[in-house]
Amino acid sequence: MMAFRAMLLRELRLALRGGGDMLTLVLFFVITGAIVPFAVGPDRELLARIAPGVVWIAAFLAMLLGLDRLFRPDHEDGSLILLRQAELPLSAVVAAKLIVHWAVSALPLIVASPFVAMLLAMDVATFWRTLLSLLMGTPALAAFGAVGAAVTVSIRRGGLIAPILIAPLSIPVLIFGTGSITASQSGAALLFLAALSLMATALAPFAAALAISSGED
């Protein structure tokens, strides 16, 4: 337990001292949302209709951006080899990384989502549903991302492959994510989203740990 806490603390320190990484993600998220009105025209009704999808696409892209930071720095400085020999099982190491990854790459997006909602002329009721669906769905995106990052960590410049690898896995998250905002049966979609997140976060640490330990250095 102490080792797990130390791992969380280390990841958090590294993320927070990483300079403007977090701010970059948030800005990317807001800008992706902000360019849509320019691209589709200032039609308020159309914007409000596509807003849920736009928020989810922006969140998905922004989370892909931070993926390469998850394992690559540890791979490059040799930490990953040593973490395989740590008292803490590798799956717990990945779980700690996953928790911090979500906290520093998804949570800021959720905090920044009012800005995007405003830019897309979203009404208040829809905005709350968007917030809830992001909160429920982003853990699944982070978990799939961790698996993709783990599979590609030993590949040089694999950072570009991971997003392609996990895009198909993320489609259900996007479907139920936007579904839980717009569809008439948004409650059911939200439950599906929660189930996806729970399953993905429960399984991803083991899958990612397996990928790391079977990938040769």
Residues that bind another protein (CB under 8 A): 2-3, 5-7, 9-10, 13-14, 17-18, 74, 76-79, 81-88, 216-217
- 71 touches 153 (CB < 8 A): yes
Q: Hey, what amino acid is at 161?
A: I
Toward another protein, which CB reaches closer, 83 or 209?
83
CA dihedral 94, 96, 101, 107 (to 10 degrees): 140
Q: How far is the CB of 155 from another protein (least distance, A)?
A: 14
Q: How far is the CB of 94 from another protein (least distance, A)?
A: 13
Please identify, using beta-carbon distances, which residue of 2 and 125 lies nearer to another protein: 2
Q: In angstroms, rounded to a whole number, what is the distance separating the alpha carbons of residues 134 and 136?
A: 5
Distance, in Å, from the CA atom of 177 to the CA atom of 141, rounded to the nearest integer, reads 11
Enter the DSSP assignment of 159: G
Measured from the CB atom, is 7 or 30 closer to another protein?
Answer: 7
- The three-state secondary structure class of 77 is coil
* Smallest distance from another protein to CB 96, Å: 10
Residue with Cβ nearer another protein (2 or 124):
2
